[in-house]
Structures are given as C-alpha cells and as structure tokens.
Amino acid sequence: MQGNWDYKNANSMNQALTHTHFHFPGQTGTYVGKVRDVYTIGHEILVMVVTDRISAFDVVLPKGIPYKGQVLNQIAVKFLDATADIVPNWKISSPDPMVTIGRKAEPLRVEMVIRGYLTGHAWREYKSGKRMICGVKLPEGMVENQKFPQPIITPTIKAAEGHDLDISRDEIIAQRLVSEKDYHKIEEYTYELFRRGTEIAAQHGLIMVDTKYEFGKIGDQIVLIDEIHTPDSSRYFYAEGYEERLAKGEPQRQLSKEFVRQWLIEHNFQGKEGQQVPEMSDEFVSQISERYIELYEKITGEKFQRHSADNLSNRIEQNVLKSLKEIL
C-alpha cells in the first residue's frame, strides 16, 4: 500500500503530492479527479485524498503546489462543520490533513454556482455583450467587480470533456437533470450556504465574491458533497479598499485561484485546442503556495500548520487505516 509524490525541489518540506496509489482493505473502486483521488470502500464509504495538483480552465497544470491539498481539505472540513446546521453533508471524519472520509452519495448532475459580484467568467461574458447568463438577466451599465443587487445562481453541468457548461434553471428541470422539487431545495440551500459563507468571510475582513456547491442524495436525503468555500471553489476579495478600487477601476485584491487563470491568460493559455501550458517556474509555484496559505489564515483566522511531507504516504495510510477501523 503506497503513494508516490513529485518534488518541487530537493527540500523535503516542499514536496507536492501529485499522485496516489493506495489499496485500502475493502476497496472497491478508485476515481482520479483533477485534484482529488477518491477511494471507494465497500459501497457506502469514500476516502477522499486531496492532492497538491492544481487545475485551471479544466486542465491539470504540470506542477503540484506544496501544501495546497492540506489547505483545501482543512478549509472544506471547517466549513462542512460550520454549515451542517443548514444542510447535512457527506463528511464522517478527517483523519489526516489531506484526507476526508465520508458517506457515498449519488451526485446530482448540476453544480450550483452563486455569484455576489460581477467578476471572472460572468464578467468575461458580460464584457462580450451578453446580458443573460443561465437564464438570469443582468442589469445594464455594470462594471467589473461590482456587487449585484442580489446574489444570482448560474448553474453548470459537466461536459463530456473540457469546460463546464452554463445552464438555466428551466433547462435543468425541462431536461429532468434534477427534479423540480430537488432543484428548488438545492437552490434554497445554495442561498443559505452563501449567506453563511459571506458572514464568516466578513468577520475576517474578506468579501465572498462567488462560489459553487455540489449536492448528492443518500436515499431520499439531499446532502452537500465535495468541498466548500475553498480557494478552488470560491473567490474572495479583501474588504478593505474594495470601494476605492472599484471607483478607480483598479483590480481588486483577491484570494482565489483567479490570479493563476490570469497568469495563464497573459501567457496565451485558456485551455483551448492547440494551446500549450506555459512553463511554471519554482518561484511562481511558491507564490501560488503562499497565496493558498494566506487564504487559509485569513478565512479561518487560524495560523496554518505546515505538516511535514516526510513519509507522507505512510502518514496518510496509517491515519486512514485507523479511521476505517473505527468506522467499519
């Protein structure tokens, strides 16, 4: 039973976990996503290992980001616990800084993207002249990073390959991707989760700009699955100076993966056919790592503990085995 990892450099403290190859007792399946490696135990338990891989424009970039997996997992765990009173979720335990163990759910076929501000993909669509996104009409005369009068939900569905596809509420229901009853429920959950995330962010001097939620069903019960309020699924602005920068048309100070996307765009890469991922220097990789750690500390109000990457595979294995013995 073992995993393997790639190195940013010879310093063991800077190892980045980019692949895992575990074989846990009772394992019946493995799924390798863009960032997460998920191991199915029996038919009801999932072991999710959050790697240090990073993706942008639905492409996994060639280098891992040290500590990114730990940051994502620990933020997600914190917010799953902080929102369990709103909607039940899949989490059972987090036995390792990079692992969450939870109940297997049947994923609903839509991702619920909610936006409080006009930025990122929505701004690029708006700037191109579109005033309707996912069936939601947008006001005229808005500028980049401006707050919407009310948060809007712009759902997406997974494409066979490549980018997620925008879709409207009416199309989701008409195509029976989700029942009308279930859709209205996850829409309600989405607004409530975003409200809670916004409140917590404000306590730490941040603005929650947009985020996405994924839901599944265990039996007849809707549950929140995957991650929540991490820099991979969410965008945050610093609240201080927001209005001044908006008035001057200046970029906002933000903590999210958007700066990676912008760097790629500046280097002529948007995941389109024929484009090549630009070379990522060790310095740039280190900058990304520090951004993730900065977000962790800002949004949680806690000092980030950099767990040693020495014997990482063995650590994860032992922690997962111990937890599975208690669960099964």
In the chain, what are the domain boundaries?
4-105+301-327, 106-263
What is residue 254's predicted lDDT score, i.e. its pLDDT?
85
Read off the pLDDT of residues 33-71 as tens digits, 9 standing for 90 and up.
999 999 999 989 999 999 999 999 889 999 999 999 999
Pairing of strands 91-96, 156-157: unpaired
CATH topology agreement for domains 4-105+301-327 and 106-263: no
Q: Which regions in the chain score pLDDT beneath 70?
A: 1-14, 160-163
CATH superfamily of 106-263: ATP-grasp fold, B domain (3.30.470.20)
Reading phi first (left if > 0) and then psi (alpha if -120 to 50, else beta), residue 141 is in left
Q: Bridge-partner residues for 60, per DSSP? A: 55
What is residue 11's predicted lDDT score, i.e. its pLDDT?
42
Model's pTM, two decimal places? Answer: 0.88
In this structure, what token pair is assigned to residue 324? 């599975």
| Sign (positive or negative) of CA dihedral 313, 314, 318, 324 | positive
Scanning the structure block, which residue is given the tokens 């990457």?
309
What is residue 163's predicted lDDT score, i.e. its pLDDT?
67
Q: Could you tell me how many residues make up the chain? A: 328
What is residue 278's predicted lDDT score, i.e. its pLDDT?
94
Q: Are 228 and 83 in contact (CB under 8 A)?
A: yes
Q: Bridge-partner residues for 89, per DSSP? A: 224
Read off the pLDDT of residues 273-300 as tens digits, 9 standing for 90 and up.
899 999 999 999 999 999 889 889 999 9
Domain over 4-105+301-327 is classified CATH 3.40.630.30: no
What is residue 160's predicted lDDT score, i.e. its pLDDT?
61
Q: Are 155 and 168 in contact (CB under 8 A)?
A: yes
Q: Are 210 and 185 in contact (CB under 8 A)?
A: no
Q: How far apart are CA 299 and CA 198, in angstroms?
A: 11
What is residue 111's predicted lDDT score, i.e. its pLDDT?
97
Q: Are 218 and 103 in contact (CB under 8 A)?
A: yes
3-state helix, strand, coil in the chain (%, to 5): 35, 30, 40
What is residue 15's predicted lDDT score, i.e. its pLDDT?
80
